[in-house]
A and B are shown apart, each in its own frame.
Chain A
Amino acid sequence: MSAPEVAAASVGRGWLGRKTAAGRLIREPAAILGGFIIFGFVLAALLAPALAPYDPNASDWMAIRQAPSAAHWFGTDDLGRDVLSRVIYGARASLAAGFLSVGIALVIGLPFGMIAGYFGGVADIVISRLTDALLACPFLVLAIALAAFLGPSLQNAMIAIGISAMPVFVRLARGQTLAVRQEDYVSAAWSVGLSHPKILTAYILPNILPPIIVQAALTTAIAVLAEASLAFLGLGQLPPAPSWGSMLDSARQFLVEAPWMAVWPGLAIVVVVIGFNMLGDALNDALNPQD
């Protein structure tokens, strides 16, 4: 067996390994359903202008709090706006908050966690204690405090959620890095004199990714919920732009007379969160077959 063949075989096995993970994933019914749900909402968010039957902010003063009908499938809200259109446009705020705030949490949390786990010592102590301090505040309380401090807007809500979700990623990345750095291939890389950044990105990162991906999927679900909570408290998307949370807030007063105002955005939140959770669970099973 010549050297290139060995390389090819090992790459092939690597690909095969990933393929098996991907293969396991697509055989998982939860993954298919979860993926389908999320794909559907992403599509709705992207194609909102084409899908929504009305301008989500256009009020019809003569049609306030009307029950679902042929003209308004989901009914109208307290200002005479079409609820269906607002739910569709609201997907933009929810998904953007879900993806971007987890992105923020990852971009900040992952490097810090890896640095803490890889170098140990002072870096570990400083980063870990700061993380502990952040973790001491309950997630939503921290997010509300940050959002209130930054002022109400969707962008600030995403930053607040991202920062609040970050400590979990620092912890996870640190723990995984601690485990991986003991591995022989890391010692080998070290001994041939590779630089720390090279070892971190090429040897450690790929090997700690699976649990991080699972965590990211599950955190996205939490972030969507958190965005809805912040919007419900008036700390998210500015009116009149729709957000499921703020729709629920204005529906709160009319639960008896106009339940459709609450039902549809509520249902949307539930379905999206279930979608992300199913996908996260399925990813977990696919990436950790030993479980």
Chain B
Amino acid sequence: MRLRRSLFAALAVAPLLALSSAHATTLRVGIQDDPDALDPATSGTYIGRFVFAAMCDKLVDIGQDLSIVPQLAEKWTFADDQKSVVFTLRKGVSFQDGTPFDAAAVKFNIDRMQTMKDSRRKAELAAVASVDVLAPDQVRLNLKEPFAPLLSVLSDRAGMMVSPVAGAKEDFSANPVCVGPYKFVERKSRDLIRLQKDASYWDAARYGYDEVLYSYIPDSTVRLARVRAGDLDIAERIAPTDLKTVRDDKNLKLHSAPGLAVSHLMVKVGEPEKANSPLQKDARLRRAFELSIDRNVINRVAFNGEYTADNQMIPPSDPFYPKSHPAPARDVAAAKKLMAEVGATTVPVEITFENALTDARVAQIVQSMAKEAGFDVKLLPLETATAIQRYLAGNFEMYIGNWSGRADPDPTLYAFFACNGGQNFNKYCNKDLEGVLNAARAEGDIAKRKQLYDKATGIYLADLPTIPIYHPNWFFAARAKVDGVVVYPDGLLRLKGVKPAS
């Protein structure tokens, strides 16, 4: 009797269960890397930002055209001297643990990122002198000097606000709490990260999935196979050579955006006392090397022409991209002439790179093309850790650098070309260029800033401490039944408006 009753109960409940599981929708996303610590203050990877995009709102966000748009801050006003900015915060917003989000929380976060021992945001926020809480929804950032890229900095991890309650704890990254549409549920290292919709999020109505599940699948071919099999809903970073497969599959949709990243041939130019490579000594040889390679062929052969061949560190999609410096066409005769001017016939060059298929392919194409002008190119593929170590130590003649890029030109140009820039491992130093970059930093007027970057571009392209080759573009494959996927130039998956197709 009792058995019968429980059986009956089970039968009655079963359809309900089925109904509720049909309603709980999960977005399954395949990601290429396993993120590092899930703490905006210490995170240092693209894939970490990728996950944060669903979990942590920022003071401001970027739009598809790289303009700055409101997010947690509804508006902002710069002081006339450009040395402070007042943010008006969105009202009625709370963190995923229920703590209210207010000006004091902003101050807590900026302080935390500036003082925390392992914080990677210190350099980004170096311009911020202090934070004043003016009202619960008014906060002022005081700057040491005018710093035009500030909003761009705050549109990334430095602008992500974590709950002061959770942020005060040591193990924040094991249980991250932000303001964001999806809250952290669990993480299995090198396997998955599960997020769940936060119903109290201020804009919750525009998020169509109840749960997001990120699965770590390093191989892009495997990610594609799994999204084709319906095992994933979205796969990030599909290889350009696989795009035809995605386009031909009517169950899939290809989503793409021009990227901010750049792949460039960095030449060791500084430290002449250690110099023994001809390219290091003479900019004419670097120019000759540039003329000997055909960027369009590299793009076509290695990337099916899906990337953007270009000669600048800033991508053409950037509003600050100067159009006055087009990429020179391949000209072997001109390259040989330059080499003859220097008095060289064969010039040895060694290219160091991380041993990955993409870079290996580019290196071999460069090797083969530069040979025609008389460059004797040797390739040195190294295992990732060793390659990065050499890069950081400046121990290379030429290095294939892959820089993720930023929404603002300053972080890229300053890092690579300022004499003490954070990525200036080829020890390039030109005081004129540094002066122009500093002026651009302090310039609040967009048109004037643009002119300064035009000038800066002219200088570095003449010195050629690095030879940019291409900008990768973003390609995500999604099931056709996932609606509203929009890829931004920063390559992050913003889930606003993403929902199951009806």
Taking a contact as CB atoms closer than 8 A, the residue among B221, B241, B379, B383 that contacts A238 in the complex is B379
Of A57-65, A94-102, A262-270, the one touching chain B:
A57-65
Q: Which of A57, A61, A79 has the most CB of B within 10 A?
A: A61
Cα separation A253 to B245 with both chains bound (whole Å): 12
Cα separation A235 to B360 with both chains bound (whole Å): 13
Cα separation A76 to B244 with both chains bound (whole Å): 19
Interface size counted on chain A using CB atoms at 8 A: 24
Cα separation A45 to B239 with both chains bound (whole Å): 35
Q: Which of B221, B297, B300, B383 has the most CB of A within 10 A?
A: B383
**Pairwise interchain contact B383-A61, C-beta atoms closer than 8 A:** no
> Known contacts being A57-B368, A59-B365, is A253 close to B221, with CB within 8 Å?
yes
With a cutoff of 8 Å between Cβ atoms, the chain B residues found around residue A234 in the complex are 355, 360, 381, 383
**Pairwise interchain contact B364-A79, C-beta atoms closer than 8 A:** yes
With a cutoff of 8 Å between Cβ atoms, the chain B residues found around residue A64 in the complex are 300-301
Within 8 Å of chain A (Cβ to Cβ): is B129? no
With a cutoff of 8 Å between Cβ atoms, the chain B residues found around residue A189 in the complex are none
Say whether chain A's binding surface is mostly helix, strand, loop, or mixed: loop
Give B residues with C-beta under 8 Å from A. Answer: 221, 239, 241-242, 244-245, 297, 300-302, 355, 357, 360-361, 363-365, 367-368, 379-383
Taking a contact as CB atoms closer than 8 A, the residue among A59, A80, A239 that contacts B360 in the complex is A239
**Pairwise interchain contact A148-B383, C-beta atoms closer than 8 A:** yes
Q: Which residue of A lies closest to B245 (CB)?
A: A256
**Pairwise interchain contact A239-B357, C-beta atoms closer than 8 A:** no
Cα separation A235 to B380 with both chains bound (whole Å): 11
Give A residues with C-beta under 8 Å from B. Answer: 57-59, 61, 64, 78-80, 148, 151-152, 234-235, 238-240, 249-250, 252-257
With a cutoff of 8 Å between Cβ atoms, the chain A residues found around residue B241 in the complex are 78, 253-254, 257
With a cutoff of 8 Å between Cβ atoms, the chain B residues found around residue A59 in the complex are 301, 364-365, 368
> Known contacts being A78-B301, A256-B245, is A240 close to B357, with CB within 8 Å?
no
With a cutoff of 8 Å between Cβ atoms, the chain A residues found around residue B365 in the complex are 59, 79
Cα separation A219 to B381 with both chains bound (whole Å): 28
Cα separation A257 to B224 with both chains bound (whole Å): 14
Q: How far is the CB of B119 from chain A (nearest CB, A)?
A: 33
**Pairwise interchain contact B381-A238, C-beta atoms closer than 8 A:** yes
With a cutoff of 8 Å between Cβ atoms, the chain B residues found around residue A238 in the complex are 379-381
Q: Which residue of A lies closest to B378 (CB)?
A: A238
With a cutoff of 8 Å between Cβ atoms, the chain B residues found around residue A79 in the complex are 301, 361, 364-365, 368
Taking a contact as CB atoms closer than 8 A, the residue among A58, A78, A151, A252 that contacts B361 in the complex is A78
Q: How far is the CB of B219 from chain A (nearest CB, A)?
A: 9
